[in-house]
């Protein structure tokens, strides 16, 4: 048995093992309704992780995702009454714009993505505080219900939030596997120098990858703010760690080029099961962050492709 050959199967095997362990410890975990609500709860996180996958797939990172989502919760709340459901377009565009600027700063100004996205995150925070007047805002309930009430319904037992997540996953999967942009992403993630040498417009691919990450963070923020019926510059805090964990335990390494959006779906489910397990094991919410921090370190150590780090790890 060769480790490299079973490595791609790690994520779903982990998920399966975790589900078995948690299910054995607490058979109530398999209750279909309970499971469905667990999966529905994780939808905003999943959407953010889905976008983050693009940034990590090209070997970068998007540390602004959480702040962009925060900003969008405020944007959605402030402009809901004015634009109704059209506010969704503004939210996605705002996220796309922030991501694109991060990408531009990374590729054209040569600022490493962890710094450029960190900085853009603070600009987003500033915008969120400005728009919200540094208060927690809440949506008008009737306006929310007329525009976004459908999100809480379900068709044939499938909650619409889950349907949104699946549709976005399908879209991301299509982008990744069925478009020339997707192949370009793979080329950049696998070896940027080779991609440049083969005539690819690498900068454009990278800018677009960060922009997609931002747009998905925007959608995540929108869904989250509709769920909580409000907006605040700190509403989505805590998402960043979990989104990065979801991408990495799903099997998209920090070095990029391998894995993808389906992996992130599995990774998000792993995060969900770990969270559920902690609830059953009566590990309090205060301890969860530490646990996920350790999970993150283990996941990076297991997945990272050290041959790509060219001997020097900075």
Partner 1 sequence: MTDMSAQTEALGSLLTRDRIARWAPLLVLVALVLLFPFFEFLADLLAGKEHVYLLDSRFFSIRNGARIGIAATPALMVAVGATFIIIMGSIDLSMEGTVSVCAVLFAFAFLGWGGTLASWAWLAIPLALVVGALLGFVNGMIHVRLKIPSFMASLAMGFVGTGLALLLTGGDRLRVEDELFRSLLTVRWLNFPIMCYVALAFLLLAWFIQSHTALGRNFYAVGGGEQLAQSSGLNVARVRVMGFTLAGIFFAVGALLAVGRIGIAETATGNNFMFVSITAVVVGGTALWGGIGGVWNTLVGVLIVNVINNGMVVIGLPSYVQDGVLGALVILAVALSTNRKSVTFVK
Instruction: Kindly state whether residue 125 participates in binding partner 1, applying the rule CB under 8 A.
Output: yes
C-alpha closest to that of 66 among 236, 209, 226, 233: 236
**CB closer to partner 1, 58 vs 87:** 58
β-strand partners of 137 = 231
Residue of the chain from 35, 111, 166, 278 that contacts partner 1 (CB under 8 A): 111
Residue of the chain from 136, 164, 278, 291 that contacts partner 1 (CB under 8 A): 291
C-alpha closest to that of 66 among 86, 85, 52: 52
β-strand partners of 155 = 158
Please report, for residues 55, 109, 193, 196, 203, the alpha-carbon distance to residue 113 in angstroms, rounded to integers and kept in the order given. Answer: 9, 11, 17, 18, 13
Instruction: Kindly state whether residue 254 participates in binding partner 1, applying the rule CB under 8 A.
Output: yes
Instruction: Kindly state whether residue 292 participates in binding partner 1, applying the rule CB under 8 A.
Output: yes
For residue 212, give both structure tokens. 């997609």
Minimum Å gap between C-beta 126 and partner 1 is 3
**CB closer to partner 1, 82 vs 134:** 134
Residue of the chain from 36, 78, 123, 200 that contacts partner 1 (CB under 8 A): 123
Instruction: Kindly state whether residue 114 participates in binding partner 1, applying the rule CB under 8 A.
Output: yes
Instruction: Kindly state whether residue 178 participates in binding partner 1, applying the rule CB under 8 A.
Output: no
Instruction: Kindly state whether residue 307 participates in binding partner 1, applying the rule CB under 8 A.
Output: no
Instruction: Kindly state whether residue 198 participates in binding partner 1, applying the rule CB under 8 A.
Output: no
Minimum Å gap between C-beta 197 and partner 1 is 11
Would residue 237 be called left, alpha or beta, if left means φ above 0 and alpha means ψ between -120 and 50 degrees? Answer: beta
Q: How far apart are CA 268 and CA 239, in angstroms?
A: 12
Contacts to partner 1 from residues 43-82, by CB under 8 A: 59-61, 63
Residue 200: exposure state from Cβ atoms within 10 A (0-12, 13-18, ≥19):
middle
Q: How far apart are CA 241 and CA 295, in angstroms?
A: 10
C-alpha closest to that of 66 among 211, 198, 233: 233
**CB closer to partner 1, 182 vs 256:** 256
Minimum Å gap between C-beta 303 and partner 1 is 10
Over its C-alpha atoms, the chain yields an Rg (Å, rounded) of 19
Please report, for residues 159, 211, 243, 267, 281, the alpha-carbon distance to residue 270 in angstroms, rounded to integers and kept in the order given. Answer: 20, 26, 12, 5, 16
Q: How far apart are CA 201 and CA 172, in angstroms?
A: 21
DSSP β-ladder status, 137-138 and 230-231: antiparallel
Contacts to partner 1 from residues 136-165, by CB under 8 A: none
**CB closer to partner 1, 59 vs 182:** 59
Minimum Å gap between C-beta 231 and partner 1 is 15
Binding-site size for partner 1 (CB under 8 A) equals 53
Q: How far apart are CA 118 and CA 109, in angstroms?
A: 15
Minimum Å gap between C-beta 205 and partner 1 is 12
134: how many CB neighbours lie within 10 A of its CB?
A: 10
Instruction: Kindly state whether residue 221 participates in binding partner 1, applying the rule CB under 8 A.
Output: no
Instruction: Kindly state whether residue 112 participates in binding partner 1, applying the rule CB under 8 A.
Output: yes
Residue of the chain from 11, 51, 99, 121 that contacts partner 1 (CB under 8 A): 121
Minimum Å gap between C-beta 70 and partner 1 is 12
For residue 152, give both structure tokens. 């809480």
Q: Which residues bind partner 1 (CB under 8 A)?
A: 59-61, 63, 105-107, 109-116, 118-123, 125-127, 129-130, 134, 192-193, 196, 202, 241, 254, 286-294, 296-297, 300-301, 304, 306, 309, 311-314
């Amino acid at each position: 048995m060769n480790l490299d050959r079973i490595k791609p199967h790690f994520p779903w095997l982990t998920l399966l093992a975790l589900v078995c362990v948690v299910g054995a410890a607490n058979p109530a975990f398999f209750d279909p309704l309970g499971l469905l609500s667990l999966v529905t709860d994780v939808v905003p996180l999943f959407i953010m992780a889905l976008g983050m996958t693009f940034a990590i797939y090209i070997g970068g990172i998007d540390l602004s995702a959480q702040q962009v989502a925060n900003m969008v919760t405020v944007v959605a709340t402030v402009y809901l009454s004015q634009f109704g459901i059209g506010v969704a377009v503004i939210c996605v565009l705002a996220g796309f714009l922030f991501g694109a600027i991060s990408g531009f700063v990374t590729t054209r100004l040569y600022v490493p993505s962890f710094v450029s996205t960190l900085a853009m995150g603070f600009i987003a925070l500033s915008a969120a505080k400005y728009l919200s007047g540094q208060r927690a805002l809440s949506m008008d309930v009737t306006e929310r219900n007329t525009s976004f009430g459908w999100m809480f319904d379900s068709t044939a037992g499938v909650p619409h939030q889950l349907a949104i997540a699946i549709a976005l996953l399908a879209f991301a999967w299509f982008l990744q596997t069925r478009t020339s942009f997707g192949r370009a992403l793979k080329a950049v993630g696998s070896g940027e120098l080779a991609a440049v040498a083969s005539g690819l417009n690498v900068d454009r691919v990278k800018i677009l990858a960060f922009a997609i990450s931002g747009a998905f963070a925007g959608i995540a923020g929108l869904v989250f703010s509709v769920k909580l019926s409000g907006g605040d510059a700190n509403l989505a805090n805590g998402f960043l760690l979990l989104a990065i964990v979801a991408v990495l335990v799903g099997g998209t390494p920090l070095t990029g080029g391998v894995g993808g959006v389906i992996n992130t779906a599995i990774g998000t489910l792993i995060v969900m099961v770990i969270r559920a397990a902690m609830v059953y094991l009566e590990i309090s919410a205060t301890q969860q962050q530490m646990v996920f921090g350790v999970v993150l370190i283990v996941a990076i150590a297991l997945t990272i492709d050290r041959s790509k780090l060219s001997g020097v790890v900075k």
